[in-house]
Amino acid sequence: MILLEPERLSRREKRIVFLLMDCLLVPISLYAGFALRYGSARPWEFLSSSLLLFPLMTGIGVVAAYVLKLDRIKLHAFETNAVSRIGVASVVLSVSAIIFSYLLGLDGPRSVPLIFGIIFFCLAVVTRLAALSVLRWAAHRDVNQKRVAIYGAGAAGIQLASALRQAQEARPMFFVDDNPSLNGLMISGLQVYSPSVLEAQLSRQDISQILLAVPSLSKSRRTEIIEKLKTYDAEVKVLPSYIELMTGNAFADSLRPVSPDQLLGRENVALDTPEIAKAYAGRVVMVTGAGGSIGSELCRQLLSCNPTRIILFEQSEYQLYTIDQELKTLANTAGIEVTARLGSVTNKARVSGVIAREGVEIILHAAAYKHVPLVEENELEGARNNVMGTQIVATAAAEAKVERFILVSTDKAVRPTNIMGATKRMAELVIQDLQTRSTATKFSMVRFGNVLGSSGSVIPLFQSQIAKGGPITVTHKDVTRFFMTIPEAARLVLLAGAFAKDGDVFVLDMGTPKKIIDIAHQMVALSGRKVKDSETGVGDIAIEITGLRPGEKLYEELLIDDDNLLPTPHPKILRAQEGMLSQIEVAAMLRELQAAIVASDADRLRKLIMARVEGFHVQSEEVPAE
């Protein structure tokens, strides 16, 4: 049990175990020396005159083991130096036995001390190797341990195999080397195979990862091998070269996480104000789309506002489970109740039921389909969720006399060129109309720029492309976007709820927009690589221009009319009062939208958007004027 569970012993206890083991081996070896010399397993008659040697040699053995630090030899690092120290201890014991036999005038052949030393050496080595084998067997019983192959059976590969044997996460299974003289050999306890049989061995031994450990390779040769290895069904990792280790670029091939703050090109906007805590303290707050990037961050930040309860409303079971598990421990500590409710915002009965049963006082409406290409291809479902879902939740809020309702919108709603932006503008029109007739509920809206780090944003996409070695895909060299971080976006929503008056649109002063291609260059640099020059081919990661996607704009705007800006208590937050449709026009828009959805008529939906959404147009390939 000690060998199987060595982690339960302290380092001092392990040293005592090794000293006791060596102490026990001394008399056993001495006895075996007499037995071999006299050819008998029970040489009692020949031992009687030499019994004094046993306690003497045992004492000397303990002293020699302690002085030579045999107890400090680490099993996983058992190598030539350790064996040499055991050899020195064996010689010390053998010579000591000869000297004491002579000084004490003990009978017995002079060959016994020599045999004794040899046996002690063999037993000390064998017991340690046996213990090491048991430890490795115990470690390799883990079925989740990753089985790896090492490409390169040189010094680097051998050292890597030795290091992996001490790890719990991976188990080296064999070497691969293109040196014909090494094929078929056993090196460091592992078989060496030729690259020609690699594919068969990967399948036979269930290998999940190949580790390239030939640091002396030229860059071109290493690239050639990596491209070949990538054709197999196993992940490929590269050990840094000695030059890379010396220059500090050893881990350039490992993508370093890029903080969204590094890409903003401006300082974070401080949005902590007393109004937030006052607006949400002691309230029951419902967040729709609670499992999404913005919704989940809203829930996290609400914990610092001390609400009575947070209602998580989400149609994805997995996302609801994830955010619920994350929040519960923190919420319990803060004394805030968290309630998870599955449901779609397009289900009127479910939405109204949850609002009524939970006594909701504030609604933060973040549920939406937001990915432009997907909504462009699924326009009817995008409209059902983004427009009808908003109308259902907002109407239920008004009927229940909810105190505040905040719609999370987007800058793509301003003069949109895609269905997603158009549906979000239609949702804004619904909220503006409801505000004109609401006496109990304050409705407001928040327009975001692109949220860095959210699902589908450029950071995770570019990081994934860089990790694969490129290329990074950018739709147009002149595409620009306003950017904000997830915390900024969530805080802006909370502030909008605190500042809300009557159908206002709140926007954050995000400075000047940034080019997407500049962000691509920045992320490549932050990951420790260089952008590949299209002409010379020099560099690591290529950037490809793929062309604008259907409905994609070259640039975004935050306001339909810049002349209607009003200040708020926060200098970086602006309030806009924008044009709206009449109640009759909004009702007609919703009836026509519902008819298009029921009839599955996408053309009808697009005609409705052209008629009702101001500024909607199809984006051309023209580059905006300087």
Question: Is there a contact between 450 and 516 (Cβ–Cβ < 8 Å)?
Answer: no
With tokens 């449901």, the residue in question is: 343
Sign of CA dihedral 550, 551, 557, 558: negative
The DSSP bridge partners found for residue 165 are none
Cis omega (within 30 of 0) for bond into 172: no
CB neighbour list of residue 268: distance below 8 Å, 6 or more residues apart: 261, 485, 487, 488
Contact 442, 501 (CB under 8 A): yes
Given the residues 370, 412, 514, 553, the one annotated as active site = 412
Q: Per the structure block, which two tokens stand in for 614? A: 């101001």
Question: Is residue 620 helix, strand or coil?
Answer: coil
Burial class (CB in 10 A: 0-12, 13-18, 19+), 376: middle
Please state whether beta strands 404-410 and 362-365 pair in parallel, antiparallel, or not at all (unpaired).
parallel
Query: What are residue 514's DSSP bridge partners?
Result: 481
Do residues 260 and 526 touch, judged by C-beta distance below 8 A? no
Q: Cα Rg for the chain, rounded, in angstroms?
A: 37
496 token code pair: 């909008």
Residue 316: is it exposed, middle or buried by C-beta count within 10 angstroms (0-12/13-18/19+)?
middle
Question: Can you name the residues that pair with 237 across neighbouring β-strands?
Answer: 211
Strands (E), 422-562: 442-448, 450-452, 472-474, 480-481, 483-485, 504-508, 514-515, 543-545
3-class DSSP state for residue 150? strand
Q: How far is CA 153 from the centre of its chain?
A: 31
- Going through 315-401 in order, the beta strands assigned E by DSSP cover 337-342, 362-365
Phi, psi of 543 (to 5 degrees): -115, 125
Q: Which two tokens stand for residue 378?
A: 């699924």
The alpha carbon torsion through 187, 168, 460, 256 (nearest 10 deg) reads -70
CB atoms within 10 A of CB 593: 23
Residue 328 annotated in active site: no
End-to-end CA distance of the chain: 76
- Considering only CA atoms, which of 238, 241, 263, 242 is closest in space to residue 253? 238
Tell me how far CA of residue 223 lies from CA of 195, 233, 465, in angstroms. 16, 18, 17
Active site residues per annotation: 412
